[in-house]
């Protein structure tokens, strides 16, 4: 929720895994881009040197040098020719689709008499890259103005087909509108928390839009009168009051988007006075957003890792589209916001579709953007479904929130039970909008959903026919842009065993936690090794003192629960997922969390081997200039059974997980159900730790986790710096770098 300060993500990621399997070797030569202070800009350079891109053209962005800088981007084509374009700021939407081949780009900086040229960064447009060319602002504005009202609807034939297919949902929606016809209008919030104010604005906006959609579908004048009454009531809320952008930006965003949509839908039946009554607060709210986000130089282009700011940017862009031609300010607003919003569709991941803030926020965020995405297709002919992140988001969901999951994965809200009805209500329209094979398979596995939701009624017609899991879909996958890996016994099986691993460049910023090199284990739809704690609100005592902390996760701490830096309290401290290999029988993943401990440790690497279907080997290598009491943490929903000082058993919902320490320092095991700060909501959980009994400057842990607790002969021995681990008939080697291989 808070903006990422300038000294955080800029250039910190490097390109872990990005160049694996390629002949291209990233050039480490410094240039002015790599030397931009982190106090100046948090933009990660895209595309990275040696990247293979799935979108043509790729998004091109770089750190902003200073507030006076201007830029020119030069692109070298596969045939050696070059072309240069001026960039609006520290980003550019290249104006043509690029055929498959190898390219290079560089940026010339001009500022206060200084001219600097960056080194060339190479990228390859793959054979399957999908074109996504953003039209220029004049074209976008012209399309918006020329679209007959209502703009934010599909063509008449498509709309008729959609409504004909969704009569049951429309009947449910109309019944809700009938139940509230003539009811007192909601009062402008006079107080309460930001969340309460947002929910009030959200509820009031939804009732207005449902009445407006009921009128569009039925032409029942009672519904028009109801929608108009509610629209004018919300327009009367003070745009500088309790729901202003400055006081409650989420509430203001909800009201702005909903009022603009109602204004467009009802436009043919409104008189000029009614239109002006709605335009005035929209202009006031939009101007406040513009001044905050764009001003003299777009701050969201310099610091895109602002969860509210990025969503507000998209809202402001749609506001300008819907008001184009009606208010003079819409032209400049659209010119400054819509191309940028399309560029930064989601800053929380790369082309692989991942979302660093966790699965819970990914669903909430992407769900709130479905209607705006639909509207962009209808109003200005921009199909965001062709954007690489939007297309590949389906794959991210399939691997980190597969059907049958009891809860989410990593980050704030990950522990919340899956709301099958809600997620189906969002997954189905998303799959209709983006009929990617993963999206269609994912939606087909879920419940029917709420047919009366606006997203369900207004979604494009779904592609007909069966929706199987894509042919060749692996049971394990890595998402390098966020440093997450998912390993399943069988992705297609709802009763699968799933192992999730994280070591992320996004560190513990915003809704991410200080859990680099952490893992989670789920089996048969039951959580076993869990990320503990409860999301009882943003920045609550529990959130600060437990939920975000390393000790709340299946990760390494030392000296009584000390762990990685929490961004909001200590600064940017990233992890790095350095290796991932998938094979049919097993997966291996390795992460380096040394930097996440903020200088307290000199080595903090973890490797994990998943032997399908039910065995997990975890190796940790740790070092510090100061002797530490090392701690290997494990958390569970129920009290754990102590089998010995080096062995425990977790039972939950008919599933089990046994943990055996095969090697490590002299240690003992303790557990508790206490927190460092009590949550406001949520059940008790159990927190276990294998803790070294004597401080040391270095340590290694080798743990075997057995899903189902079936007995197996296992041992670990070391010779010449190499560990040999025998697990039944399988032999694994752990080399001096910590990498695990199966012999």
pLDDT in tens, 270-315: 999 999 999 999 999 999 999 999 999 999 999 998 888 989 999 9
Which helix (H) or strand (E) element contains residue 80? none
- Identify the pLDDT of residue 223: 98
Residues in the chain: 743
Using the Cα atoms of residue 715, residue 659, residue 615 and residue 740 in order, give the sign of their dihedral.
negative
What 8-state DSSP symbol labels residue 64?
Answer: -
Of 590, 482, 600, 485, whose CA–CA distance to 550 is shortest? 600
Q: In whole angstroms, give the CA distance from residue 304 to residue 503.
A: 21
Q: Determine how many CB atoms are found less than 10 A away from the CB of residue 465.
A: 7
Banded model confidence at residue 1, pLDDT cuts 50, 70, 90: very low
Give the whole-angstrom CA distance, residue 153 versus residue 209: 13
Counting residues of the chain whose pLDDT is more than 90, the rounded percentage is 92
Of the chain, the percentage scoring pLDDT greater than 70 comes to 97
| pLDDT confidence of residue 19 | 39
Cite the beta strand spans of 380-481 per DSSP E: 476-479
- In whole angstroms, give the CA distance from residue 387 to residue 185: 40
Q: What is the pLDDT of residue 241?
A: 96
SS3 397: helix
Query: What mean pLDDT comes out for the span 738-743?
Result: 95
Using the predicted structure, report yes or no on whether residue 546 has a pLDDT greater than 90.
yes
- What pTM was computed for the model? 0.94
pLDDT score, position 609:
98
pLDDT reading at 400 higher than 90 = yes
Pairing of strands 586-592, 603-611: antiparallel
User: Residue 42 — very low, low, confident or very high, per pLDDT cuts 50/70/90?
Assistant: confident
Q: What is the mean pLDDT of the chain?
A: 94
Q: How confident is the model at residue 188 (pLDDT cuts 50, 70, 90)?
A: very high
C-beta separation of 232 from 278 below 8 A: yes
Interval 59-73 mean pLDDT: 96
C-beta separation of 503 from 608 below 8 A = no
Answer for the pair 470, 486: CB distance below 8 angstroms, yes or no: no
The confidence score (pLDDT) of residue 15 equals 37
Sign of the C-alpha dihedral, residues 306, 311, 313, 316?
negative
Flag whether pLDDT at 715 surpasses 50. Answer: yes
Alpha-carbon dihedral sign for residues 381, 383, 384, 388 = negative
The pLDDT value given to residue 202: 96
Task: Please count the other Cβ atoms lying within 10 Å of the Cβ belonging to residue 435.
Answer: 17
- Compute the distance between CA of residue 508 and CA of residue 598 in angstroms, rounded to an integer: 12
The predicted structure's pLDDT at residue 571: 83
Contact 285, 227 (CB under 8 A): no
3-class secondary structure, 250 = helix
Separation between Cα atoms, residue 550 and residue 562, nearest integer Å: 8
- Is the bond preceding 47 in cis, omega lying within 30 degrees of 0? yes
C-alpha count within 13 angstroms, C-beta hemisphere, residue 617: 31
What per-residue confidence (pLDDT) applies to 22? Answer: 58
Q: Which of 39-48, 460-469, 549-558 has the highest mean pLDDT?
A: 549-558
Is the pLDDT score of 739 beyond 90? yes
Q: Contact 208/258 with Cβ under 8 angstroms?
A: yes
For residue 417, give the DSSP letter: B
Q: Is 660 left (phi over 0), alpha (psi -120 to 50) or beta?
A: beta
pLDDT surpassing 80 at residue 18: no
The whole-number average pLDDT for the span 353-373 is 94
Distance separating alpha carbons of residues 302 and 67, to the nearest angstrom:
9
The whole-number pLDDT of residue 670 equals: 97
More reliable by pLDDT, 41 or 625: 625
Query: Does 2 have pLDDT greater than 70?
Result: no
125, β-bridge pairs: 53, 101
Using DSSP, state whether 578 is helix, strand or coil.
Answer: strand
What are the residue ranges of helices labelled H in 80-239?
A: 137-146, 156-165, 167-179, 194-218, 221-235
pLDDT average, residue stretch 482-501:
98
Mean pLDDT along residues 708-724: 96
Question: In order of start, what are the domains of the chain with their CATH numbers?
Answer: 1-133 (2.60.40.10), 147-344 (1.50.10.100), 350-473 (no CATH), 479-709 (2.70.98.70)
What is the full DSSP assignment across 274-327?
HHHHHHHHHHHHHHHHHHHHTTTS-HHHH----HHHHHHHHHHHHHHHHHTTTS
Question: How much is the CA Rg of the chain, to the nearest whole Å?
Answer: 27
Residue 390 has pLDDT above 90, yes or no: yes
């Amino acid at each position: 929720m808070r903006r990422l300060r300038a000294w955080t993500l800029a250039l910190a990621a490097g390109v872990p895994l990005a160049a694996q399997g390629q002949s291209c070797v990233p050039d480490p030569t410094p240039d002015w881009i790599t030397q931009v202070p982190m106090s100046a800009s948090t933009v990660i350079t895209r595309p990275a040197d040696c990247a293979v891109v799935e979108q043509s053209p790729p998004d091109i962005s770089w750190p902003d040098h200073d507030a006076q800088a201007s830029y020119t981007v030069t692109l070298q084509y596969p045939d050696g020719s070059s072309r240069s374009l001026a960039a609006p700021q520290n980003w550019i939407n290249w104006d043509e689709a690029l055929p498959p081949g190898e390219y290079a780009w560089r940026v010339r900086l001009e500022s206060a008499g200084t001219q600097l040229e960056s080194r060339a960064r190479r990228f390859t447009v793959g054979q399957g890259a999908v074109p996504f060319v953003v039209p220029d602002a004049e074209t976008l504005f012209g399309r918006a103005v020329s679209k007959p009202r209502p703009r934010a609807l599909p063509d008449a034939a498509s709309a008729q087909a959609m409504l004909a297919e969704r009569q049951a949902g429309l009947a449910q929606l109309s019944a809700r509108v009938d139940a509230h016809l003539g009811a007192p209008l909601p009062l402008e919030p006079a107080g309460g928390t930001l969340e309460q104010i947002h929910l009030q604005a959200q509820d009031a906006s939804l009732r207005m839009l449902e009445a407006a959609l009921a009128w569009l579908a039925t032409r029942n004048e009672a519904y028009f009168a109801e929608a108009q009454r509610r629209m004018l009531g919300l327009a009367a809320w003070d745009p500088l009051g309790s729901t202003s952008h400055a006081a409650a930006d989420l509430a203001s965003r909800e009201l702005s988007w909903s009022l603009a949509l109602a204004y467009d839908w009802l436009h043919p039946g409104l008189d000029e006075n009614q239109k002006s009554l709605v335009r005035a607060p929209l202009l006031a709210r939009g101007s406040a957003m513009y001044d905050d986000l764009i001003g003299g130089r777009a701050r969201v282009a310099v610091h895109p890792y602002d969860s509210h700011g990025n969503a507000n940017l998209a809202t402001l862009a749609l506001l300008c589209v819907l008001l184009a031609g009606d208010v003079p300010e819409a032209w400049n607003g659209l010119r400054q916001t819509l191309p940028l919003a399309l560029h930064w569709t989601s800053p929380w991941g790369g082309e692989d579709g991942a979302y660093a803030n966790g699965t819970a926020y990914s669903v909430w965020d992407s769900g709130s953007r479905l209607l705006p995405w639909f509207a962009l297709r209808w109003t200005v002919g921009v199909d965001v479904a062709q954007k690489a992140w939007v297309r590949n988001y389906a794959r991210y969901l399939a691997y980190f929130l597969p059907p049958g999951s009891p809860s989410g994965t990593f980050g704030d809200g990950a522990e919340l039970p899956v709301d099958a009805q809600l997620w189906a209500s969002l997954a189905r329209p998303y799959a209709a909008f983006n009929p990617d094979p993963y999206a269609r398979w994912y939606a087909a596995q879920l419940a029917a959903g709420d047919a009366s939701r606006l997203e369900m009624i207004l979604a494009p017609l779904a592609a007909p026919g069966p929706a199987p899991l894509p042919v060749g879909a692996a049971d394990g996958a890595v998402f390098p842009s966020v440093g997450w890996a998912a390993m399943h016994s069988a992705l297609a099986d709802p009763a699968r065993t799933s192992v999730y691993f994280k070591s992320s460049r996004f560190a513990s910023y915003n809704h991410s936690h200080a859990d680099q090199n952490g893992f989670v284990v789920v089996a048969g739809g039951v959580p076993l090794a869990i990320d503990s704690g409860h999301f009882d609100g943003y920045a609550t005592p529990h959130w600060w003192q437990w939920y975000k902390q390393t000790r709340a996760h299946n990760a390494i701490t030392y000296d009584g629960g000390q762990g990685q830096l929490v961004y909001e309290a200590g600064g940017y401290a990233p992890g790095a997922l350095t290796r991932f290999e998938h094979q049919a029988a097993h997966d291996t993943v390795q992460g380096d969390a040394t930097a996440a401990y903020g200088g307290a440790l000199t080595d903090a690497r973890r490797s994990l081997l998943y032997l399908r279907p039910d065995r997990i080997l975890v190796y940790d290598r740790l070092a510090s200039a100061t002797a530490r009491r090392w701690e290997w943490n494990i958390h569970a929903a129920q009290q754990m059974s102590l089998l010995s000082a080096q062995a425990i058993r977790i039972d939950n919902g008919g599933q089990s997980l046994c943990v055996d320490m095969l090697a490590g320092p002299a240690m003992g095991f303790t557990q508790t159900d206490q927190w460092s700060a009590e949550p406001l909501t949520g059940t008790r959980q159990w927190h276990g730790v294998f803790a070294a009994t004597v401080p040391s400057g270095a340590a290694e842990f080798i743990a075997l986790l057995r899903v189902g607790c079936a007995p197996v002969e296992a041992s670990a021995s070391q010779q010449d710096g190499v560990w040999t681990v025998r697990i039944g008939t399988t032999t694994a080697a752990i080399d001096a770098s910590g990498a695990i291989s199966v012999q």
